[in-house]
Amino acid sequence: DFQWTEAAAVDEVPADDVVGMQVGGREIALYNVDGRIYATDNVCTHGHARLCEGFLEGHEIECPLHQGKFDVRNGKPTCAPVTEAIRSYPVRIDAGRVFLSLE
Ligand code: FES
């Protein structure tokens, strides 16, 4: 069973955009793609850059530092120079709140 940690209100994640926040002591990026919420680690696997400062286009987040890209649905790298996946987290929405499974 998943253990769910409350992260934010759904309203705090603007449409087709990304926000960064601390959840359970981790730096998390939350994405809103067509009204659906996704969550990954916020720090890029390539260097020390925060994805919440990057550019979200469809399901891809572009890192602000070297323009590597990840698929926010599963954390997989989709564009060089990133080669290592970023961790993604299961998301549950309940009563307008976003919950993440962080284990
Ligand atoms: Fe993200 Fe280099 S730090 S692509």
Q: Is 49 exposed, middle or buried (0-12, 13-18, 19+ CB in 10 A)?
A: middle
- 12 CB-near residues (< 8 Å, 6+ apart): 19, 30
Residue 102 Cβ < 6 Å to ligand 1: no
ipTM: 0.99
CA of 89 to the centre of ligand 1 (A): 20
Return the best residue to mutate from 51, 60, 61, 66 for the ligand 1 pocket (most ligand atoms within 8 A of CB).
Answer: 66
Q: Which of 22, 9, 3 is nearest to 97 (CA)?
A: 9
How confident is the prediction along the chain (103 residues), in pLDDT tens digits per residue?
789 999 999 999 999 999 999 999 999 999 999 999 999 999 999 999 999 999 999 999 999 999 999 999 999 999 999 999 999 999 999 999 999 999 8
Q: Identify whether the C-beta of residue 75 lies closer than 8 Å to the C-beta of residue 87.
A: yes
DSSP SS3 for 63: coil
CA of 1 to the centre of ligand 1 (A): 34
CATH superfamily of 4-101: Rieske [2Fe-2S] iron-sulphur domain (2.102.10.10)
Residue 66 Cβ < 6 Å to ligand 1: yes
